[in-house]
């Protein structure tokens, strides 16, 4: 009987620890145009605490899996904004935006280079 209680307690504590895990997945809107933007956005989000960022150029949505114990979604948005992209409610840095390739200048609403 003691072994059963010990085993049950162990399972309960492991389950409780798993539920407290800070790994979550959220989506945010990130403005951009193309595959070049995708690379820049995903690289900008490649910071400590972020497990993966996948940005879809068609939907303009980034799906981000991160450790909420290590970083906040707002900090991730700020990192993307520093690369020149509007992320969530944070406007992209104007200086970084001005350095983006013509195709990636999303504020005019379209890619300006042919074939992209």
Model pLDDT for residues 66-96, shown as the tens digit of each residue: 999 999 999 999 999 999 999 999 999 999 9
Q: What is the pTM of this model?
A: 0.78
Domain positions in the chain are 22-107
Question: What whole-number distance in Å separates Cα of residue 73 and Cα of residue 11?
Answer: 31
CA 86, 95, 102, 46 dihedral sign is negative
> What's the token pair of residue 23?
């790994």
- pLDDT for position 13: 47
Q: What is the CATH number assigned to the segment(s) 22-107?
A: 3.30.70.100
Q: Which residue shows structure tokens 């690369």?
A: 83
Strands (E), 22-88: 23-29, 50-56, 61-67
């Amino acid at each position: 009987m003691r072994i059963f209680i010990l085993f049950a307690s162990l399972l309960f504590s492991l389950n409780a620890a798993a539920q407290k895990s800070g790994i979550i997945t959220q989506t945010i809107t990130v403005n951009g145009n193309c595959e070049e933007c995708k690379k820049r956005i995903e690289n900008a989000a490649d910071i400590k605490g972020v497990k993966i960022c996948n940005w879809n150029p068609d939907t303009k949505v980034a799906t981000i899996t991160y450790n909420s114990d290590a970083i906040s979604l707002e900090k991730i948005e700020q990192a993307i904004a520093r690369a020149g992209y509007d992320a969530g409610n944070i406007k992209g840095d104007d200086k970084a935006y001005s350095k983006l390739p013509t195709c990636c200048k999303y504020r005019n609403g379209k890619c300006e280079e042919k074939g992209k």
